[in-house]
Structure formats: C-alpha cells, structure tokens
Amino acid sequence: MDDTKNDFNIDDVAQKVGGRFKLTVLVQKRYKELNEWSLETGKKLPRDIIDAILREIWRGAIELQPEPDEINAEKLLGGE
C-alpha cells in the first residue's frame, strides 16, 4: 500500500469528528502535543505531519475529548 496516498479526503475526516471546527481544534491540539515532544527529544517532525495527524484521526487513533468547561456548557445549553 502506498502511504503517500490517502484513502479519505478532508471532508470525510471533518464529518467523522463532527465538523470542520472540531477537526481544526483536534489537529491543533495534536500538533501542539507532537511539537512539545519534538522539542523535548530534539527530534524533528516530518514535513507531512498534518497528513499524519489526519491519518491518525481517520483511523480512529485519536479523538477530541471535551474539556470540563465544555461539558458544563453543553449541560447548560440543554445538551447531554
């Protein structure tokens, strides 16, 4: 299998996580986590790190976890 070709598109990934905004937040949080690891270890992140993060999301390896404040806001607004 060719790792350079994705079997998904950005709209598929956005739909999987609940929209483009949530996808953006998840990608940013994961990038920050990987960047901090990179700085601690002295290793460089690959040039295609965003593609790697999108593949992780598509495979279900990572998902967006709500912050405690977000959970309280959902309850306040009538969500779960």
5 is a domain residue: no
C-alpha 26/C-alpha 30 separation (Å) is 6
45 is a domain residue: yes
C-alpha 73/C-alpha 10 separation (Å) is 28
Amino acid occupying residue 15: Q
Can you give the pLDDT at residue 7?
Answer: 83
1 is a domain residue: no
C-alpha 77/C-alpha 37 separation (Å) is 36
Scan for tokens 């009538």, then name that residue: 78
Q: In which residue ranges of the chain is pLDDT below 50?
A: 1-4
Structurally, the chain folds into a number of domains equal to: 1
Can you give the pLDDT at residue 1?
Answer: 36
Which residue segment(s) compose the domain that 36 sits in? 10-76
Tell me the pTM.
0.75
16 is a domain residue: yes
C-alpha 19/C-alpha 1 separation (Å) is 28
Instruction: Look up residue 37 and give its two tokens.
Output: 């690891």
